[in-house]
Structure 1
Amino acid sequence: MTDSVSLKPDLGRFGVWTFGAPKPEQAVEIEKLGYGALWIGGSPAGDLNYVEPILEQTETLQVATGIVNVWTAPAGEVAEAYHRVENAYPGRFLLGIGIGHPEHTDEYRKPYDVLVSYLDALDAAKVPTSRLVIAALGPKVLKLAAQRSAGAHPYLTTPEHTGSARELIGPTVYLAPEHKVVLSTDVDEAREIGRKTVDFYLNLSNYLNSWKRLGFTDKDVAKPGSDRLIDALVAYGTPDDIAARLNQHLEAGADHVTIQVLGGEDKLLPTLKELAGPLGLTG
């Protein structure tokens, strides 16, 4: 390892998760609202060419990947790109990596070993552990994240998962869960929107196993997902309702919560604007 893992990143209390890189002008508005970080999801490319245009247009907003897939992005390419971004915008980029899903990789062999080898390659290329987080759900990878990076970026989880993860990894490790939101007080509408996103993950064993460890049953996680499961994974209601749910992650031990707005791209900024006040942001 290249430096101490006890030095936590500082991305503020709340960030924004998007599927793919948003337009730089959207990032500018996100920064103005007071969100501390933009997480670019959807297995973005290892060249990180989408990062600089956002950092160039913003002043303090940090950009993170949530996550670069170790199966599709060579470690050497990612390390070179990391250093390029860091040299241009020191301290404003956090590299998130992850192993992906066994169902979507033809050669999904010993994923834990592949992740360890990838981390070895990043270490050799002097990517600092203090600017690296790992997608982690289960105990084994959470422990690896604590040992080999700044911390963990759990996706599609609950405050209960955050609490158990914090207990497992200890107080000094960075913990930044993602949570989905729908700004609607129409319960049926909110659940329908939530299910459209969650549906993809109901076929993936790593998520199914994670939910079962939290106490959800086979019936809960069978398609299309029980109301209980959807309500746990997707926060909805008034801005105050949603803010209260997101704050439960912080109360359970999260350092940072990254918010994924559902319902279409046109909902992104209006929802974030409505949430900024109840979340106590200063934008």
Structure 2
Amino acid sequence: MANQQLGKIGVWLAYPQATPELARELEALGYGAIWVGASPAADWAGYEALLAATETLTVGTSIVNVWATPAKDIAATYHRLAEAYPGRFLLGVGIGHPEHATEYTKPYDALVNYLDQLDEHGVPRERRALAALGPRVARLAADRTAGPLPYLTVPEHTAALRAQLGPDALIVTEHKAVLDADPATARATARGTVGFYLGLSNYVNNLHRYGFDDADTAQPGSDRLIDALVAHGTPDEVADHLLAHVRAGADQVAVQPLGGDPLPILRTLAPLLTAKLA
């Protein structure tokens, strides 16, 4: 599979959480990448700060919104970082959500146009990735980028992507985690994040492809849905749940910790994930 230097485990964090100090510790713990969630504008100084603070960690954007950031601007950022930190910056781009974009028309065409512009500005195919859920955009991701970045999904989807796209596409799947062995409180924590996405049609439609119905995806999400989308339980149970994506064909699972400070969860999970992958 593609881009083995990423390693099998990464971390997905909303960009305000992604500090240089945290990145250094994640690298020491054995995580191969930090995916900067809700990625800010192309000129955000944080990308360089994260790379400068580490030696091998890949920094990926998840995602730069094509409606909000001109391709020429993020291309300039890519080239600056690629020159200073070769092979360590991965540009994830995506279309965002129709509910949040006033100009959300012909999204597939918009993605193609944006990728064309990245080509024109010399961003290599293998150093960019595309947020993708459905099969059409997943195919575009494989054809025009290193591969897809699925978010808020299940291992069955990861397996379907691998079957569709073959062995060479890079697949990095985000998955949420709560270290809490009490199902009631763990689900309450999970719903605090997942509920937002149940109002977005692209995620709901994708979940319907994988066995969930309207009753599952109605707010605040059924227990069955929450249990599938958010790994919770003992540390061992959480690690097994997360690695189901790797077993299904993902190159990397990007762990998104929920419930406050991400470091305690990531410190606990790192040796378990590493051991289970050995």
Aligned residue for 2:79?
Answer: 83
* CA spacing shift, 1:7–1:195, aligned 2, 3 Å: closer
Aligned residue for 1:270?
Answer: 264
Identical positions, percent = 56
Contact 2:92/2:129 (<8 A) preserved: yes
**From 10, 15, 22, the counterpart of 1:20:** 15
Q: CA deviation at 1:10?
A: 2.5
- After superposition, the C-alpha distances for 1:204-252 in whole angstroms (9 at most, x for unaligned) are 1100100000010011001111001100000011111011111111111
Q: CA deviation at 1:8?
A: 3.2
**From 6, 9, 13, the counterpart of 1:11:** 6
Q: Which runs of 5+ in 1 are unaligned?
A: 1-5
Aligned residue for 1:3?
Answer: none
* CA RMSD of superposed structures (Å): 1.3
- Separation in structure 1 between the aligned mates of residue 96 and residue 181 of structure 2, nearest angstrom: 33
Contact 1:48/1:82 (<8 A) preserved: no
- Separation in structure 1 between the aligned mates of residue 195 and residue 244 of structure 2, nearest angstrom: 24
Aligned-partner SS, 2:272: coil
**From 51, 61, 65, the counterpart of 2:61:** 65
Letter in 2 for 1:15: G
* Farther off after superposition, 47-56 or 222-231: 47-56
- After superposition, the C-alpha distances for 1:51-108 in whole angstroms (9 at most, x for unaligned) are 1111111111110001100010110000011000111111110000000000000010
Q: Trace 1:233-272 onto structure 2 (pairs within 5 A).
A: 233-264=229-260, 266=261, 268-272=262-266
Contact 2:7/2:31 (<8 A) preserved: yes
Q: Trace 1:15-164 onto structure 2 (pairs within 5 A).
A: 15-21=10-16, 22-164=18-160
- Separation in structure 2 between the aligned mates of residue 151 and residue 242 of structure 1, nearest angstrom: 26
Q: Which has the higher helix share?
A: 2
* Count of aligned positions: 275
- Separation in structure 2 between the aligned mates of residue 119 and residue 103 of structure 1, nearest angstrom: 23
Q: Which runs of 5+ in 2 are unaligned?
A: none
Contact 1:151/1:173 (<8 A) preserved: yes
- Separation in structure 2 between the aligned mates of residue 243 and residue 7 of structure 1, nearest angstrom: 23
Q: Is 2:213 the counterpart of 1:217?
A: yes
Aligned-partner SS, 2:12: strand
Aligned residue for 2:222?
Answer: 226
* Farther off after superposition, 37-46 or 98-107: 37-46
Q: TM-score scaled by structure 1? A: 0.95
Contact 1:162/1:253 (<8 A) preserved: yes
Contact 2:19/2:46 (<8 A) preserved: no
Contact 1:9/1:174 (<8 A) preserved: no
Q: CA deviation at 1:43?
A: 3.4
* Farther off after superposition, 17-26 or 123-132: 17-26
Contact 2:131/2:150 (<8 A) preserved: yes
Q: Trace 1:197-216 onto structure 2 (pairs within 5 A).
A: 197-216=193-212
Contact 1:9/1:150 (<8 A) preserved: no
